[in-house]
Homo-oligomer: A and B are copies of this chain.
């Protein structure tokens, strides 16, 4: 058994059981990959793939087990290389982050700008997706960090560092009736208008629906989208009242939109940054965590890494110690 054979095996799996594609991805010849797979199967004495003629048509039960183990092995070799690199190439490397649109568009820009200033030679890869896709990416691809909100159960096996909390904000076209209430917004107010908000697959988002239900209200959601930019576009078109994460309520929107704070109407959400428990964090990665969650101290991070359960980690942070990110303050219409 050779590391390369395992690497090729995973490449084949990750390229839809297409050996040719796998070979290209590995920058090598197709017969080479084919042969190594054959050698591996011969050495182990079992078929890893189901053949259909000459093509690979599926993965055998044994194959799945071997593949899982091979992934662990390749991850550990990566870890060894990482920690080696950390000893002599402090400033070089790459950082791959998987996250949702809201983070990528509204939260990360400032943080990444600062990060680039400190580590100009580190390559950055930003991957976007739903919570499910993010969970998939961090287990199968080489992603260093996942950043998401709620849905902790999707990310078992990761260490999740609670980073900040946020409320929803209500976005309306300039001069909308709701801006003239003269009192604090209520759910009843919102229920009277057609609503535009996130699709529910998004993390703790069903908590929005539940908030209405708790008051016996049936919200009239006319449109859902995955990201706040789309939502705001439709709000501008007068399609309805938008409910977005408050970070997405940008000062730049002020020309056409107005933002009404919605603190207290919906439960506060907590966004965390997560990484694999068995991953080696290079120094610049630790720095990134600290940029994203500045309230975390070095000693806390060490405690976190020693922790065995997620509850233990959450226990390290008083909920109300976490910073709260708000909307662009200029644009908020406060309660009377």
Contact = CB atoms under 8 A, between A and B. Distances in A.
A80 B84 contact: no
A27 B79 CA distance: 29
Contacts of A80: 1, 44, 65-66, 69-70
Interface in A81-115: 81, 83-85, 87-89
A77 B45 contact: no
Nearest to A87: B46
Chain A interface size band reads 20 to 34
A314 interface: no
Given A2-B2, A66-B84, A76 B77 contact: no
A39 interface: no
Contacts of A72: 72, 76
A283 to B, nearest CB: 13
A230 interface: no
Contact of A3 (B1, B46, B69, B89): B1
B2 A84 contact: no
Interface string A1-12: 111000000000
B3 A2 contact: yes
A62 interface: yes
Interface in A270-307: 280
Contacts of A83: 62, 65-66, 69
Contacts of A124: none
Nearest to A65: B83
Interface in A300-336: 309
25 contacts: A1-B3, A1-B81, A2-B2, A2-B3, A3-B3, A44-B80, A44-B84, A45-B85, A45-B87, A45-B88, A45-B89, A46-B84, A62-B83, A62-B84, A65-B80, A66-B80, A66-B83, A66-B84, A69-B76, A69-B77, A69-B83, A72-B72, A73-B73, A73-B77, A76-B76
Closest 8 CB pairs of A and B: A44-B84, A69-B76, A45-B88, A46-B87, A73-B76, A69-B80, A72-B76, A73-B73
